[in-house]
Amino acid sequence: MKFSIITATYNSKNTIADAINSVASQTYDNIEHIIIDGKSTDNTLSIIKKTGERVSKIISEPDNGIYDALNKGINNATGDIIVFLHADDIFAENTIIEKAAKLFKEKQTDSIYGDLQYVSKEDTDKIIRYWKSGNFTFSKLKKGWMPPHPTFLVKKTVYDKFGVFDTNFKIAADYDIILRFLGKHKISTAYLPEVMIKMRMGGESNKNIKNIILKMKEDVKALKNNNIGNWHTVILKNIIKIPQLFKK
């Protein structure tokens, strides 16, 4: 079983080496690491070339945003399983892909997901928010539940069959694709009950009030597109995030 790990980056000189080293340290051998760089204007690309001995492919060219970049990664992937590790993120430990491979084999599932920690930009051991996913049921989707997208590992054949990210979304294409896969097409999934990814705080969707409002509007659009829910679901989606601030 081959894992394609896709990292989209743009002007990420401060964190890209951590992401690359996080992939390189994985104990599982059958990995390809694809980096999609949006033609960075800082020294991101030179850092990639300097530290990326285990990077399989680098594509550096202008893109139309994060989801366009991720789609390029999917289209260039040759693995069985698609994994996204953003330039600001790291795997929680070096056995994550090994454990994921074991779970895929045991459960014979289309996808898996786990838990995520939001951490300090300066100190990845400092936990700001703990996203504990719990077990999946279809009814939870209508109550605002979703797995953390960076922990959502999906077979390449699912993307081939049901499509990649909808780039009409600027912020919520990840939510749309989760609803499409788990809700609309009801692919199978399994829960790995441990932290898989550490994500540095400072994501695009919560950067300012304008983006928060756009995110909520796009969430509603994603729900309606996949016939899952409405504004009520979005309100619940935000309410259930509150306890994450108190779990460490």
Q: SS3 for 71?
A: helix
pLDDT for position 205: 46
Nearest to 9 by CA among 93, 81, 77, 84: 84
pLDDT tens-digit profile, the chain (248 residues) = 999 999 999 999 999 999 999 999 999 999 999 999 999 999 999 999 998 788 999 999 999 999 999 999 999 999 999 999 999 999 999 999 999 999 999 999 999 999 999 999 999 999 999 999 999 999 999 999 999 999 999 999 999 999 999 999 999 999 999 999 999 999 999 999 999 999 998 755 455 678 888 889 999 999 999 999 888 898 888 888 877 777 65
The DSSP letter of residue 138 is H
Report the half-sphere exposure of 26 (CA within 13 A, side-chain side). 28
Q: 179-196 as b/e, with b when 16 or more CB fall inside 10 Å?
A: bbbbbeeebebbbbeebb
d(CA 131, CA 241): 8
Go through the domains of the chain in sequence order and give each one's CATH number. Answer: 3-245 (3.90.550.10)
d(CA 143, CA 185): 18
